[in-house]
Chains A and B, each alone.
Chain A
Amino acid sequence: MEARTRILARVRRALKERPKALLPEHPHTPLAEDPVDLLLRRLEENGAEAMKLPREEAKAFAQRLAEGLPGATFGKTLPQDLRPPLPELPPEEAPLGVSWALFAVAETGSVALSSEEGRRVHLLPPTHLVFVEAGRVYGSLLEALQDLQSLPSALGLHSGPSKSADIGQVMVKGVHGPGRLIVAVLL
């Protein structure tokens, strides 16, 4: 507690004569286009694969993606019908993780993943398939953050495949997290 008291006392002393600065508001900038279309474009620019499709087709897509795989790992909140018919593997062994996003942000090309889903499923498999409902796509990050009612223990915003240019300035994918991010927006 001593350090706390001393730090706070020094802060107060430092600020005694300092004018107080006002806290500005953040303006909303309305989107000029459909948020789903912008989301898909931004995700692709970020190096992800992205598509919009009706739920039935999404199921078929997941099944095709799963073909020939020994198994997969699934987010806890993923609806049953979107699970490809594969045995469930531990995330550290699964070649595919399938999860359900809380929301998406168009302007940044991001999907938001809650820790209520689990965490390893989002991070360990080399390929990550994420479903998000079209109605949960926000135009801007500001709208999305202002709309959040409760916060999970960890919220991850994923905007593309894991990547690094640390080796000789050459872009490499799949360094620690998934090297392939596929986002399917359900219409």
Chain B
Amino acid sequence: MRAKAKLYPKEAARLLREKPGVREAVTGATLHFERNRLRAYGEVSIGAWRERAKAVKDHVLSHLDHYLELAERRLRENGVQVHWAETLEDAHRVLREVVQRHGVRRAVKAKSMLTEELGVNPLLESLGVEVYETDLGEYLIQLLGEPPSHIVGPAIHLSLEEIQRLFHERFGTPLDAPPEALAQVARKVLREAFLTAELGISGANFLVAETGTLALMENEGNIRLSTSLPKVHVAFVGIEKLLPRFQDLALFLPLTARAATGQRLATFVSLIQGPAREGEEGPEEVHVVLVDNGRTALLADPEAWETLRCLRCGACLNACPVYRQTGGHPYGYVYSGPIGAVLDPGLLSLEEAYPLPYASSLCGACLEACPVLIPIPKLLLTWRHRAVAEGLTPSWEKAAMKAFRKVMESPALYRLFSKALRGLPLPQDLLPLLRAWTEGRGPLKPSPKPFHELWKEVERGG
């Protein structure tokens, strides 16, 4: 996926102006996820769960070379073909070979952020393969030609009316068809695809080194179908997805489900050990592509390496008051919201993702939500410091910060300025700092009385 993260502030403002319905849809959906998560966290000793999950992940990451080699060995013993992809191009090469060797015409895909990152769909299309996203939400946005706007609910920005209109135009369903009817239409189209596709593509929630097990979570059954029906299954797995022991799944599967949707466990969990055995149904070939694509660079980062613990549960998105206003699209890259803001500068470059660490009020809600305790607020500041140090911030901002400092350090200057601000009409279109603010927002209206005057009145018992 091509990143457009640089445009974040403009895109966010444009979305809020032009598509006010998105804010309503995203806020509604994320608050719903958030309520479910809070209830689910409250049912268990969540503090201990999160500490333990963090410890397991830190252990894996600090022994990553060992566990990668172990996983590779186990996968091979299980009859899985293992590939290593340093870059997007490496990953594409593996997929191209599989497609050509098997003469693949049709592929079914299970929702996966990594395959978005790698641009798997455009590649397959360029090879003449018909690709079906099979997660219902993913299928909707594939029909619309849009990227996902949320890790767990890729289509949460769409209202029921928009989906009804889409299906009306595509499949001739009535404009007021209920969700059940629309889902049945999608089920029929995709069922046909499952039964005829030669290739199934997935990501993985976890890869267990001890047993070479791929673990995948979902609620619809499309992942089970995508990894069971086609004769070839290719799974793209980020190198950070490893777990040491099979029993670690007993913590990570329920924890991820609780964080993501508030469930005790995802409705369907697939634990895949390899291709079908003698006389069994299932794929004849299973490929695992271990993907780096910037992850080793993140691992080397003395601070941002902690983002590699991420389970992609989306809880930080749901908790974020900034993300809730727009959903994921304005962030301009697959990973949006708080995790995107700290992961994208590491995966892309700070220059390319520079505005994202600023897309936060630093309220700390993301850290409260995160099942593996990624210190997102701290990392937002880390990236901001680095942006300033690398001279990425605009020159007017530097000048403004300097002036602000001067004014704030002197009570006399402060009073003078605050009086001037209230007394004079604000030259909102002239000062660059104010212009940057008012672009896409209403004008600034200073309150008639400053805080220190109000405070004095309170002290006087007014």
Chain A contact residues, CB within 8 Å of chain B: 1, 3-4, 6-8, 10-15, 18-24, 26, 42, 46, 92, 107-110, 115-116, 118-120, 122-123, 140-142, 144-146, 148, 151-170, 172, 174-178
Contact = CB atoms under 8 A, between A and B. Distances in A.
B275 interface: yes
Interface of B: 28-29, 32, 52, 55-56, 58-59, 61-65, 68-69, 84-86, 90, 134-137, 140, 153-156, 158-160, 163, 178-180, 182-183, 186-187, 190-191, 194-195, 211, 213, 219-222, 224-225, 227-229, 239, 244-251, 253-254, 263-277, 280-282, 290, 292, 296-297, 299-300, 305
A176 B190 contact: yes
A24 B268 contact: no
Given A20-B63, A21-B58, A170-B179, A119 B187 contact: no
B341 to A, nearest CB: 22
A11 B265 CA distance: 32
B183 to A, nearest CB: 4
A20 B62 contact: yes
A153 B86 contact: no
A142 B250 contact: yes
A26 B268 contact: no
A11 to B, nearest CB: 5
A4 B297 CA distance: 15
Nearest to B134: A176
B32 A163 contact: no
Contacts of B253: 141
Contacts of B245: 23
Given A21-B59, A154-B227, A166-B155, A3 B68 contact: no
B137 A164 contact: yes
A119 B282 contact: yes
B281 A119 contact: yes
B82 to A, nearest CB: 9
Given A157-B271, A176-B187, A18 B62 contact: yes
B187 A26 contact: no
Most B C-beta atoms less than 10 A away, residue of A3, A4, A120: A3
Contacts of A161: 267
A14 B300 contact: yes
A177 B239 contact: no
A10 B56 contact: no
B246 A163 contact: no
Given A15-B65, A166-B137, A170-B160, A115 B213 contact: no
Given A7-B296, A13-B300, A109-B264, A26 B251 contact: yes
Given A15-B62, A160-B267, A120 B160 contact: no
B59 A159 contact: no
26 contacts: A3-B90, A7-B68, A7-B290, A15-B65, A22-B55, A22-B59, A23-B245, A46-B264, A108-B264, A109-B264, A115-B282, A120-B281, A141-B249, A151-B271, A151-B273, A152-B273, A153-B276, A156-B269, A164-B220, A168-B158, A169-B28, A169-B32, A172-B183, A174-B187, A176-B187, A176-B220
